[in-house]
Structure 1
Amino acid sequence: MSDSTHAHPHLAREHLPIPDPKHVGLTTYDAKDPNTTYPPITELRPPKGAPNVLIVLIDDVGFGASSAFGGPCDTPVAERLAANGVKLNRFHTTALCSPTRQAMLTGRNHHSVGMGAITEMATSAPGNNSIRPKDTAPVAETLKLNGYSTAQFGKCHEVPGWEVTPVGPFHQWPTGSGFEYFYGFVGGEANQYYPGLYEGTTAVEPPRTPEQGYTLTDDLADHAITWVRQQKALMPDKPFFMYFAPGATHAPHHVPKQWSDKYRGRFDDGWDALRERILARQKELGVVPPDAELTARHDEIPAWEHMPDDLKPVLAKQMEIYAGFLEQTDHAVGRVVDAISDLGVLDDTLIYYIIGDNGASAEGTVNGCYNEMTTLNGLPGIETTEFLLSKIDAFGTPEAYNHYAVGWAHALCAPYQWTKQVASHWGGTRNGTIVSWPNGLPDKGATRDQFHHVIDIVPTILEAAGLPAPHSVNGTTQAPLEGVSMMATLRDAAAPETHQVQYFEMMGNRGIYFQGWTAVTKHRTPWKADVPPPFDDDVWELYEPGDWTQAHDVASENPAKLAELQRLWLIEATKYNVVPLDDRGFERINPDIAGRPQLIRGKSQLLFDGMRVSEWCVLNLKNQSHSVTANLDVPEAGAAGVIVTQGGSVGGWTLYAHENTLKYCYNYFGIDYFVTAAIEEIPAGKHQVRMEFGYDGDGLGKGGDVTLYYDGREVGRGRVERTQPMAFSADEACDVGCDTGSPASPDYGPTGNRFTGTIEWVQIDLGGDGQNHLIKPEDRFNIAMAKQ
């Protein structure tokens, strides 16, 4: 295949970067000499005919959610792309977000690239350390070094937690992983109204407020459209690789009312009836065979009829919000696709529309929640039915941080068993996927039944582009790709299946696929905090090739086949760094036990004005006594605004000036606001303010006494009755000088809260009070020297 740059009949694309051409020939003394000649400078391009590539990856969507695959959530853009391409009915992910994303971007199994679970649960084991090996370069790097323009928009949950800092290192951020441009968030989830955004590696603020109509998904689409228009306007002959990965539809389920209101009343008959409707529609569409069976609902998942009647309006509302959320997301995808079409290049664009990086999320617990942080802190019981009913109209709004109930997640994975995190069964790993490439795929509106996995996307892109899998990238010899190209499948419904064997594992839930057979064992239930059983006590199930939904366990009838597949699972698991199996929960969250680096150590931390750092990057103030001290220069007109804050409207704390008076507010899940105010105003000029928190002790989540000081002199006392034991937020930052996300105190709004004076520094100290309530310059020097 010839290159579009005719000057070089062959480029050494097996070794990236491609070596620079060296001129060998006559060198003249005078450039005006008629014998002076050099070849013209040419720009690097991929082989002729290489398509543009767009990967759309939606978050937390079950196989049965989208209308394109028989679900109740209207996704007309997915349907339109399917009509112009093919649907993949047996496409699989890993059952969790970070692992699926890293596997998809590298073409290797998730344990091969260190992503056995989410980054927050990284350990020192090679299969779980969240560190991408240098010999597994991501596809964006390969395409960029072959002449593609590259950009990512949305979620990046592949950066090791200790590297999510303003000072990096940035080699596993998108712009260090082959993407020339990145606009989105780094982490597991984002507040759709108040996201913590980055452009490249620089923290930026959303361009509008929720009151002005802002939502993250629309913002991501705006930036993607701007980027692709500029790319084609300036370099029309250069293909692009765009990765569009909105935070939707991961919790919190946030969507403007105009999207959710259209679903009012559609789910009043509950999740069991919804499962039956979904399967009937799936058979009509041909996305499951006519004899596919609806799998039984497990005892851990309650029947709709057994849910309290007074809770059902809240439960139905949760599903209405989610359906609107998915439709809004599909609409945003459509805007991006339409922009590509308007540029006249849609027919030359290979699109993967992957509807879910795993199955639907069952992390909202049996009743669902108004504030997801209550469940993440292990306190779902504080949201009573009465409380949830009182908040029913606020679900989906900027005031909420809601998630739906387990029953809805299970229904949206119909007709399969289980949900996200359960890698053993198709409910956790089978995701409806659409592939469109008008100039490259002959079939339109067809389906494909061959088994494929997310690691097959990279080999497919490379084949479509006429590019080899590189032997070396940036000086490192590359490990082989572990996926297989899907191109034969995409071009021929009768093509033989090429992905013969695939292991699955997620925190002990495990399975193996081999030539149609599956052997699986569910080790733990996602929404339960029970201690899982020993691995050897797990009960394995066996399903035959013709059992589309894994409805009939034949392990007792065919023990020899089960033993064969169990042995094959162990072989594959050993090959790809799955062992040692690790089902620990708290231990993996604790870096001291897990063995991963910690950015912040010791008992004191210094912060400066303008800093915005994640919860990873701040001393843990929870469940212990602590103090927060700031040196200020207060203007004559008085002080107002935030000095330092952590968290936001769903939980956190803030030290701020309000009407020239120092205040401390502890926000307990947005349910209670414990406010302590000074009894006098802050004097003008240079002063030191301080908040001391005396923790009650004797367990997690207890209360404490608050004392405020000006220049070491007590000026206020208060009380916090209870605290959040585990986390303030999944994505809100710790800010100095303003509150950049949602507001932690009702005394100020999401904008206009910057401190009016000057903040020289802020210091956080852990432990009981052992000082005279005033930090002297020599104290700060001694602390700094102790950290060298």
Structure 2
Amino acid sequence: MRPDRHARTMLPIPDRPSPTLTTYDAKDPDTSFPPIEPLLPPEGAPNVLIVLLDDVGFGASSAFGGPCRTPTAERLAAGGLRYNRFHTTALCAPTRQAMLTGRNHHSVGMGSITETATSAPGNSSVRPNTKAPLAMTLKLNGYATAQFGKCHEVPVWQASPIGPFDAWPSAGGGFETFYGFIGGENNQWDPALYEGTTPVDPPATPEEGYHLTEDLADHAISWIRTQKSLTPDRPFFVYFAPGATHAPHHVPKEWADRYAGAFAHGWDAQRERTFERQKDMGIIPADAGLTARHDEIPAWDDMPDELKPVLEREMEVYAGFLEHTDHHVGRVIDAIEELGVLEDTLVYYIVGDNGASAEGTVNGAFNEMANFNGMAAVETPEFMRSKMDEFGSPSSYNHYAVGWAWAMDTPFQWTKQVASHWGGTRNGTIVHWPAGIAERGGLRSQFAHCIDVAPTVLEAAGLPEPTMVNGVQQSPIEGTSMLYTFDDPDAPERHDLQYFEMFGNRGIYHRGWSAVTKHRTPWIIVGGTMPALDDDVWELYDGGADYSQAHDLAAEQPERLHELQRLWLIEAVKYNVLPIDDRTGDRIDPARAGRPTLVRGRSQTFYPGMGRLSENSVVSMKNVSFSVTADIEVPDDGAEGVIIAQGGRFGGWSVYVHDGRLTFVYNVLGIHEFPVRADSDLPPGRHEVVMSFAYDGGGPAKGGDVTLLVDGAEIGRGRVEMTQPVIFSADETTDIGYESGSTVSREYTAATSRFRGRVHRVRLDIGDDSHDHHIDPDERMRVAMSRQ
């Protein structure tokens, strides 16, 4: 192996040309220059593939004893190592930013999700430039880098078509290629996609068999094949992060049907079955305890009998969704193997970025937006039963019940968001690297954390931790390389101290012991009583003897508990965790939270071609009178198509022309549509068209009267009986002159929505009669938390 000639601690690596004889004539025999050599990592550096699934609990995958079949995970585990004490942060964006930087989530400003960012350094959602991401380090060392899938690390005020793009994967993130979505969740059938920073449409429709996970796998496979075809000597770093299995649980029906009847026993019995299988497989110790169900989680036997078939179907759909996701991960693995480079590829398969999601409410949901808008009452047991065949389909935006989330976290307590207990933070992880790991099918039980991935990759690649990146001195990586465990199952663990915190739920791990306190229940944000931070009750667990945190020793060993509590405070100061921020409504309001906002004033002007504008980048017209004024040109043969639309199939509004007539439609939850159409066709020529909505008042979600005008003359009048008070969509956007994604109205499709004519400008004005104050700020917080 030849020595590496590069000094790699300063990135980009400075050019250092060797002094040579300079000749006058290039034909001179003494003219000689060394050949241009592409920058490569040190010899022997492996390809790297990180697969990160979304919202999968420890007890979901069959590779870790769960009921959802994941043959790809099992295959990789059989040829590599399972880690049964690998941890995340309990929430999506914090885990991702921590993993991609090798630093704790508060150290990189991601104490929570971007939508709840504050001006506090640990919660700003802004990654300091002193903490360069792994992809940037690898790229500047000669790796080819690409990300496919979810990115929820972009601050909300930067998640618009105008940027800045410093936090986007293909700009400041260090990925040369990005294909995926920006945000916490996306419609799997009709997603809002980006290629780099450019919005793109899905290559097919749901009717044509499109699904996001398959599309992401297609792009990843194509990129890997191209990279190995054109630059085979250059190793790749691929980050494959599908939106699955985050809600909505969208999957082709045949995958869900594979589990028909498999969950009739309910979630309590499912935990017992998973627990026994985990022991039989040796995934958990033989003396591990199965933790009890908390009072906040209903027993299966206490659920209404008429709802149980729906609850079963929710879990069938989820299980099919996870198996479908694993299948497409397998396609990526197969492509690498077919290229003959799987042996030399370090694969991390991290089965979940946090514990299972308990954000689907006690009953689950057919359309999450009903719950988000405080209108869950419309999803009665009768309604849910009538929709059973549609769960997982393009007409649904579904989630499973809290009880299933708890069951998918077997054998641990609690779920996603609960950073105190292992149910929120312990995720099954598989490492596969035939060229670097001798053992096949091994189990590793050393404590590990998502911040350990980056230093592991650097050590495997023979790369030093950089001290300078792009002219900025770097702070040390905070994770510990896991390479020492690859060939020594009994090696003493090196990562023996780790804090946890999320919205006041907090814990500390130190040398086998853990002290934890749950401050808040994930699905109880509105109406619940939150204790003062100092009144939280702490628990103490001996990890050496109690794998699952089943036996609280706080009363027996108060001194040890106090020592760990103090240690938590020390770590909290060190990593910007303080001040602990358990506020709800205050963090949703940008002004009170101290973060920038794209929305100012009561009026906004848009121009043709603008699109993919998220709800937080458009003035809100909920619970208030508003008007849309558009300057348009109608051709001689008539106009057709969308002038402006916000939202999509599951809620929103649109001003468009249909059959030559100006039309407004308000769509409530995909259940009710209120169309208002002009009495006559729009005449050719340039016109000012207006849609005026006069809100009834008296609180949120009320209706209003609609008036349509052309050049000041009324041409139509109608009525909207109800409106959505909080949110239209988690992923649908506002578009001018067309509509992307799913459409508000069934009278057009995304393909036929483009305006035939010309839109010069559109102005949105809201009145001074806002009833928005009737929406509890805590309710807005609940919506934000449920979308991450």
Same fold (TM over 0.5): yes
Name the structure 2 match of 1:100. 95
SS in 2 for 1:271: helix
Name the structure 2 match of 1:784. none
- Distance, in Å, in 2 between the alignment partners of 1:587 and 1:704 is 30
Name the structure 2 match of 1:311. 307
Matched, 1:179 2:175: yes
Matches for 1:225-240 after TM superposition, within 5 Å: 225-240=221-236
- Distance, in Å, in 2 between the alignment partners of 1:467 and 1:566 is 37
Moved more, 609-618 or 313-322: 609-618
Name the structure 2 match of 1:706. 706
Name the structure 2 match of 1:595. 594
Deviation at 1:767, TM superposition (A): 1.2
The one-letter code of the counterpart of 1:537 is: D
Name the structure 1 match of 2:786. none
Conserved 8 A contact 1:85-1:436: yes
* Residue 211 (structure 2) aligned to one of 203, 212, 215: 215
Deviation at 1:768, TM superposition (A): 5.3
Matched, 1:477 2:473: yes
The one-letter code of the counterpart of 1:566 is: Q
The one-letter code of the counterpart of 1:31 is: A
Conserved 8 A contact 2:651-2:669: yes
Deviation at 1:531, TM superposition (A): 4.4
Matches for 1:10-21 after TM superposition, within 5 Å: 10-21=5-16
- Distance, in Å, in 2 between the alignment partners of 1:130 and 1:378 is 28
Deviation at 1:621, TM superposition (A): 1.1
The one-letter code of the counterpart of 2:133 is: P
The one-letter code of the counterpart of 2:675 is: V
- Distance, in Å, in 1 between the alignment partners of 2:45 and 2:597 is 43
* Residue 186 (structure 2) aligned to one of 177, 186, 190: 190
- Distance, in Å, in 1 between the alignment partners of 2:67 and 2:170 is 37
Matched, 1:660 2:660: yes
- Distance, in Å, in 1 between the alignment partners of 2:485 and 2:715 is 73
SS in 1 for 2:170: helix
Matches for 1:309-388 after TM superposition, within 5 Å: 309-388=305-384
The one-letter code of the counterpart of 2:533 is: F
Name the structure 2 match of 1:544. 542
Task: Give per-residue Cα distances to partners, 1:338-384, cap 9 Å, x unaligned.
Answer: 01111110000000000000000000000000111122233322311
- Distance, in Å, in 1 between the alignment partners of 2:487 and 2:695 is 65
RMSD across aligned positions (CA) = 1.1
Conserved 8 A contact 1:661-1:680: yes
Task: Give per-residue Cα distances to partners, 1:229-284, cap 9 Å, x unaligned.
Answer: 00000000000000000000000000011110110110111111111111011111
* Residue 34 (structure 2) aligned to one of 36, 39, 58: 39
- Distance, in Å, in 2 between the alignment partners of 1:722 and 1:582 is 36
Conserved 8 A contact 1:66-1:73: yes
Name the structure 2 match of 1:6. none
The one-letter code of the counterpart of 1:713 is: A
SS in 2 for 1:340: helix
Name the structure 1 match of 2:198. 202
- Distance, in Å, in 1 between the alignment partners of 2:465 and 2:370 is 46
- Distance, in Å, in 1 between the alignment partners of 2:344 and 2:382 is 55
Name the structure 2 match of 1:553. 552
- Distance, in Å, in 2 between the alignment partners of 1:656 and 1:74 is 46
User: How has the CA–CA distance of structure 1 residues 250 and 640 changed in structure 2, closer, same or farther, with 3 Å as cutoff?
Assistant: same
Name the structure 1 match of 2:163. 168
Conserved 8 A contact 1:58-1:248: yes
- Distance, in Å, in 2 between the alignment partners of 1:358 and 1:365 is 18
- Distance, in Å, in 1 between the alignment partners of 2:488 and 2:376 is 50
Deviation at 1:153, TM superposition (A): 0.1
The one-letter code of the counterpart of 1:246 is: P
The one-letter code of the counterpart of 1:705 is: D
The one-letter code of the counterpart of 1:53 is: V
Name the structure 2 match of 1:773. none
- Distance, in Å, in 2 between the alignment partners of 1:491 and 1:587 is 49
- Distance, in Å, in 1 between the alignment partners of 2:585 and 2:679 is 42
Name the structure 2 match of 1:780. none
Name the structure 1 match of 2:407. 411
Matches for 1:241-280 after TM superposition, within 5 Å: 241-280=237-276
Name the structure 2 match of 1:751. 751
Task: Give per-residue Cα distances to partners, 1:124-179, cap 9 Å, x unaligned.
Answer: 00000000000000000000000000000000000000001111111110012110
Deviation at 1:735, TM superposition (A): 0.8
Matched, 1:567 2:566: yes
The one-letter code of the counterpart of 1:581 is: I
The one-letter code of the counterpart of 2:532 is: P
% identical equivalent positions: 65
Extract unaligned runs of 5+ from structure 1: 4-8, 770-788
Equivalent pairs, count: 764
- Distance, in Å, in 2 between the alignment partners of 1:210 and 1:637 is 32
Matched, 1:681 2:681: yes
Deviation at 1:698, TM superposition (A): 3.0
- Distance, in Å, in 1 between the alignment partners of 2:337 and 2:420 is 39
- Distance, in Å, in 2 between the alignment partners of 1:21 and 1:338 is 41
- Distance, in Å, in 1 between the alignment partners of 2:583 and 2:635 is 52
Conserved 8 A contact 2:46-2:461: yes
Conserved 8 A contact 1:626-1:768: no
Extract unaligned runs of 5+ from structure 2: 770-788
- Distance, in Å, in 2 between the alignment partners of 1:652 and 1:595 is 29
Matched, 1:534 2:529: no
Conserved 8 A contact 2:738-2:750: no
SS in 2 for 1:491: coil
- Distance, in Å, in 2 between the alignment partners of 1:549 and 1:694 is 57
Conserved 8 A contact 2:696-2:704: yes
SS in 2 for 1:326: helix
Matches for 1:487-526 after TM superposition, within 5 Å: 487-526=483-522
Deviation at 1:746, TM superposition (A): 2.2
Deviation at 1:657, TM superposition (A): 1.1
SS in 1 for 2:400: coil
- Distance, in Å, in 2 between the alignment partners of 1:707 and 1:430 is 55
Moved more, 686-695 or 413-422: 686-695
Conserved 8 A contact 1:350-1:435: yes
- Distance, in Å, in 1 between the alignment partners of 2:143 and 2:431 is 20
- Distance, in Å, in 2 between the alignment partners of 1:102 and 1:745 is 37
Task: Give per-residue Cα distances to partners, 1:208-239, cap 9 Å, x unaligned.
Answer: 00000000000000000010000000000000
- Distance, in Å, in 1 between the alignment partners of 2:581 and 2:700 is 26
Deviation at 1:629, TM superposition (A): 1.2
- Distance, in Å, in 1 between the alignment partners of 2:747 and 2:584 is 37
Conserved 8 A contact 1:2-1:47: no
Name the structure 2 match of 1:785. none
Matches for 1:25-36 after TM superposition, within 5 Å: 25-36=20-31
Conserved 8 A contact 1:23-1:38: no
Name the structure 1 match of 2:418. 422
Moved more, 16-25 or 80-89: 16-25
- Distance, in Å, in 2 between the alignment partners of 1:2 and 1:108 is 32
- Distance, in Å, in 1 between the alignment partners of 2:716 and 2:581 is 48
Conserved 8 A contact 1:694-1:768: no
SS in 2 for 1:748: coil
Task: Give per-residue Cα distances to partners, 1:711-751, cap 9 Å, x unaligned.
Answer: 11112222222221211111111011111111111222343
- Distance, in Å, in 2 between the alignment partners of 1:394 and 1:599 is 37
* Residue 461 (structure 2) aligned to one of 443, 446, 465: 465
- Distance, in Å, in 2 between the alignment partners of 1:566 and 1:213 is 53
Deviation at 1:699, TM superposition (A): 2.4
SS in 1 for 2:306: helix
Task: Give per-residue Cα distances to partners, 1:64-89, cap 9 Å, x unaligned.
Answer: 00000011111000000000000000
Deviation at 1:605, TM superposition (A): 1.0
Deviation at 1:706, TM superposition (A): 1.4
The one-letter code of the counterpart of 1:726 is: V
Task: Give per-residue Cα distances to partners, 1:313-348, cap 9 Å, x unaligned.
Answer: 110010010000000100010000101111110000
Moved more, 181-190 or 642-651: 642-651
Task: Give per-residue Cα distances to partners, 1:381-438, cap 9 Å, x unaligned.
Answer: 2311111112111110101100000000000000100000000000000000000000
The one-letter code of the counterpart of 1:565 is: L
- Distance, in Å, in 2 between the alignment partners of 1:180 and 1:666 is 41
Matched, 1:134 2:134: no
- Distance, in Å, in 1 between the alignment partners of 2:119 and 2:623 is 27
